[in-house]
Chain A
Amino acid sequence: MTENTEKKTGITRRTLLKTGTAAAGLAAGSGAITGFPHIWAQNPITLRQFGTGVSNLNAVAQKCKEDLGITLEMTAMDSDAAAQRAVTQPDSYDIADVEYWILKKVFPAGVIQPMDVSKLKYYDKIVPLFITGKLNPESEIAQGTAPHTVGFVEKPEDKAFAKEPTQWLTMVPTIYNADTLGIRPDLVGREITSWADIMDPAYKGKSAIINIPSIGIMDAAMIMEAMGEIKYGDKGNMTKEEIDKTIEFLIKAKQSGQFRAFWKTFDESVNLMSSGEVVIQSMWSPAVAAVRSKGVPCVYQPLKEGYRAWGGGLGLAKHLSGAKLDAAYEYVNWYTSGWVGAYLNRQGYYSACMETAKQYMSEDEWGFWVEGKPAQGDILSPDGQVMEKAGTVRDGGSFDDRMGKVSCWNSVMDEDRYMVRRWNEFIAA
């Protein structure tokens, strides 16, 4: 912080003293800087954002600087590191860009301050999935850490989540998607309709799953249930017995040579698929797009058991107050006002405020990405590359079709530590 302000103002003895005091105030901890709002008003405001999701989109930082004059310093990290940073270094960030299951771990530590919904300009535009848990009034609430279950608190000081929507939002939802299996349509040789198909003996040595325990276990659960091996009480919160059964099943499959590999990073999953080492595997939607952009056919196959969904949002650090807090609200309001939403939609994710995003998308883009209509012209990625040729239809179809068939959300289990230990046994077995 000090460095930035100094650079931008040029150092006179006076500013140095002021920034020095402000920095000391910051270091001293929360709330201590209320006496110096004029300093923040004089200097360009910087918000430090860290997280897993969209924290690595430079385009967002650039546009934010243009529109608001706020400098965004973004740090991207993997989800476990993000969870740890959120709790252990609460003064090192202003905005936490994390997934909801991480929020569930982190929020009880009291490092995130809830947001007053009356200050959120586009609160009423947020899709009901994040408010009531239902996309449409008649939809069923999915298992796992559904965002609405950790979305609200009764009072700002509360550490426990509220059961119903309230005045206080823990995190503004921004990005989410429905994940499924990726397949090589040219190599699987038949129709893929179920999560169970990944265990088909025909794909022995040609399948892969993700080796991030908290996500891999969910994919495994979808597979197990689809095969009729087990019926979980809640896939997102397994009992020890359910974990044991799932892991033992995986170990058996591994030892019989069902899997070709376990991937940990985005590029690994892309390479496995495009080289033909693997024909069916856990995948993320941008990875499917990356395989296709190499000219290799790849489908993000909708499956009859439904999707595994994930969602993330922006949370405000506890220490924010005064002008910085105002700036953070301004940033969140700008974020939900449409430009970023359109950007995310164009990447194949979904924006939490669909209506506002629509204004920033062409009719064809909106039709392709959200309504599931065939593309009229070529569909371009945000950086201008052709992602889909005219005439293509998005895998899984429309927003309602995809997000309406969520079977389970990424989650954190009560038996988290036990699950991780058993997962490591599976990898070592």
Chain B
Amino acid sequence: MAVMIEDTTAAAPAASRGRSARLPRMAPYLQALPLTLILGLFLLLPIIMIAVVSFWDYDFAMMYPDFMTLNYEETLGSWVTWKTYLNTLKYAVLVWAITLFTGFWVAYFLAFYVRTTGMQMVLFLVCTVPFLTSNIIRMISWIPVLGRNGLVNSMLIEGGFISAPIEWLLYSDFAVVLAMVHLYTLFIVVPIFNTLMRIDRSLIEAARDAGASDWQILWNVIIPLAKPGMAIGTIFVVTLVMADFSTVQVMSGGQSASVALMMKNQMSLMQYPAAAANAVVLLAVVLLMVAGILRVVDIRKEL
């Protein structure tokens, strides 16, 4: 946005030519105004308010305008926060690794093995079918599958593979990661598919002509070119996992904590300033992570 404004202003004639010329010079600003207003009102302002509130004092019912760092001291000084962040990061890393792996191969299959564009679109739409129903439903439907008397356990028991139900299928880290992978894989498939489709096929032919094996083509041609898509998908998945509370609560049976769940607990107890302080810390952590990803991969190539 900013770049565009600069360009057009520079292109406009430098000297003012009276009233009629002023409008075209204003035009880019007017064009930028709606987005500025929307982002300002609905993104910037709330974030500033959260930051302000995070310094306030509170009791069970009220918040008192103040400037105290106690909320941050309580947040950062508690082992619970650190443990919860570690736990959330653990989920993020696991889910990211698994979704990146599966996502890449799904996208690879769609882009290189399905020959007609029509079929590609059909299969791509098939991938999105689960998204026609709500997040919560997709998550909760795992419970009857994984439960102690659920589908998987009763099948294994009736098949004579095990004698007692496997307990860690549900209400465990396994269940949380499984549900998250299920929920978020598509977010990484789409951007990777997009970049793979843009790879010039002649590059692959050239590599083959130069004697590269399939593996070498994948490693030295396709993956480097797919990196921007992987980075964008990674940003989606990491931010989604870092902000997740419902999956963690439902799939761990309330036994595990995530940062967002900690905030939700605080909010349900009306401790808004404490939750706000937590939100600011989480925002900083996630922004750092995104900055890190952007340093490694230049996603502008994608745009």
Contacts and interface: CB of A to CB of B under 8 A. Distances in A.
A322 B80 CA distance: 52
Contact of B255 (A105, A261, A272): A261
B23 to A, nearest CB: 44
A150 B270 CA distance: 23
A262 B253 contact: yes
Contact of B171 (A86, A260, A424): A260
B269 interface: yes
Given A109-B61, A276-B148, A427 B269 contact: no
A424 B80 contact: yes
B268 interface: yes
A80 B269 contact: yes
Interface string A76-98: 00101101101110000000000
B262 interface: yes
B60 A84 contact: yes
Interface in B80-107: 80, 83-84, 87
Contacts, number: 83
B149 A262 contact: no
A416 B58 CA distance: 13
Interface string B142-182: 01100111100000000000000001001100000000000
Contacts of B269: 80, 213, 420
Interface string B102-143: 000000000000000000000000000000000000000001
B254 interface: yes
B84 A428 contact: yes
A428 B80 contact: yes
Contacts of B262: 424, 428
Contacts of B270: 80-81, 83-84
Q: Interface SS of chain B: helix, strand, loop or mixed?
A: loop
Contacts of B254: 211, 261-264, 427
Interface string B251-275: 0011101000010011011110000
Contacts of A277: 147-148, 170-171, 253
Given A83-B60, A205-B167, A425-B80, A275 B149 contact: yes
B253 A276 contact: no
A420 B268 CA distance: 11
Q: Interface SS of chain A: helix, strand, loop or mixed?
A: helix
Given A80-B269, A427-B265, A276 B61 contact: no
Contacts of B147: 275-277
Contacts of A80: 60, 268-270
A261 B249 CA distance: 10
Contact of A416 (B60, B78, B143): B60
Contacts of A417: 59-60
B170 A83 contact: no
A56 interface: no
A368 interface: no
Interface string A256-298: 0001111110000001100111000000000000000000000
Nearest to A106: B61
B303 interface: no
Nearest to A205: B167
B4 interface: no
A254 interface: yes
A275 to B, nearest CB: 5
Query: Which range holds the interface residue count of chain B?
Result: 20 to 34
Interface in B42-59: 59
Contacts of B80: 424-425, 428-429
B62 interface: yes
A276 B149 contact: yes
A420 B60 CA distance: 11
A84 B63 CA distance: 11
Contacts of A427: 254-255, 257, 265
Contact of A83 (B61, B167, B253, B271): B61
A87 B167 contact: no
Nearest to A425: B80
Contacts of B170: 277
Contact of A275 (B74, B148, B255, B268): B148
A212 B253 CA distance: 14
Contacts of B60: 80, 83-84, 105, 416-417
B162 to A, nearest CB: 16
Contacts of B143: 271, 275
B61 A262 contact: no
A274 to B, nearest CB: 10
A114 B43 CA distance: 45
Contacts of A261: 171, 253-255
A417 B147 CA distance: 35
B61 A88 contact: yes
A420 B78 CA distance: 14
Contacts of A88: 61-62
Interface string A179-218: 0000000000000000000000000010010010100000
Contacts of B171: 260-261, 277
A428 B85 CA distance: 10
A424 B265 contact: yes
Q: Which of A78, A86, A260, A263 has the most CB of B within 10 A?
A: A260
Q: Which of B61, B80, B147, B149 has the most CB of A within 10 A?
A: B61
Interface in A237-268: 254, 259-264
A106 B170 CA distance: 40
Contacts of B268: 78, 80-81
B255 A262 contact: yes
A260 B165 CA distance: 14
Given A275-B147, A420-B269, A87 B253 contact: no
Nearest to B250: A268
Nearest to A276: B149
Given A87-B62, A277-B171, 10 more contacts: A78-B268, A105-B60, A261-B254, A275-B143, A275-B148, A277-B148, A420-B271, A427-B265, A428-B87, A428-B262
9 contacts: A81-B268, A211-B254, A261-B253, A261-B254, A263-B254, A264-B249, A276-B147, A420-B269, A428-B84
The 10 closest A-B pairs by CB, nearest first: A261-B253, A262-B254, A87-B61, A428-B257, A428-B80, A425-B80, A84-B270, A84-B61, A211-B254, A276-B149
